[in-house]
Amino acid sequence: MIKISVSIDVSDLKKAEIFYVRALGCKKVRDQGSNMVVLSVENCDIYLQEKEAGTKPLVSSTVVRDYKRHWTPIHLDFLCENVDELVLKIVKLGGSHEGGESGDWGSIAHCADPFGNGFCIINE
């Protein structure tokens, strides 16, 4: 059996924990040392890892961590019943709402956490 977990680098672990718990409804599972916390949402664990801006993600990398808004083709989707209500929580807790769309299939909101990590909110 394979289980998927998600790791998210952040520059402020406490702020990230508050954001993901209060805005997105994640549950704290445990602290994992002084620079990591494990959260859970439904069947997925999320590991928030505090890493300083400017540090290398890999020894061989020339790229360094940057917490300005960035894009990656792999991102999280959080499914919910009320997209508009969740977007209000996200913005209130320091995240951003970057638009969205809706149709007969439902609604999607494009968002980012306070550390530039993008994700989508989609109604179930």
Q: Is residue 64 part of a domain?
A: no
Which pLDDT does position 73 carry in this prediction? 86
| Residue 112 DSSP symbol | E
Q: Would residue 30 count as lying in a domain? A: yes
CATH assignment of the domain containing 40: 3.10.180.10
- Total-model pTM: 0.90
Give bridge partners of residue 80 from the DSSP assignment: 123
Q: In this structure, what DSSP letter does residue 120 have?
A: E
The pLDDT score that the predictor gives to residue 76 is 93
Read out DSSP for 8-76?
EEES-HHHHHHHHHHTT--EEEEE-SSSEEEEEETTEEEEEEE--TT--SSTT-S-----S----S--E
- In the structure encoding, which two tokens stand for residue 39, read together? 């959260």
* pLDDT reported for residue 72: 84
Q: Is the pLDDT of residue 9 over 90?
A: yes
Instruction: State pLDDT tens for residues 60-116.
Output: 989 999 999 988 888 999 999 999 999 999 999 999 999 999 999 899 999 999 999
62 within domain boundaries = no
> CA torsion angle for 10, 110, 98, 46 (degrees, to 10)?
-10
Evaluate whether residue 63 is within a structural domain.
Answer: no
Is the residue at 88 inside a domain? yes
Q: Range of 21's domain?
A: 5-53+69-123
Dist. CA 104–CA 26, nearest whole Å: 28
Q: Domains in the chain: how many in total?
A: 1
pLDDT in tens, 20-34: 999 999 999 999 999
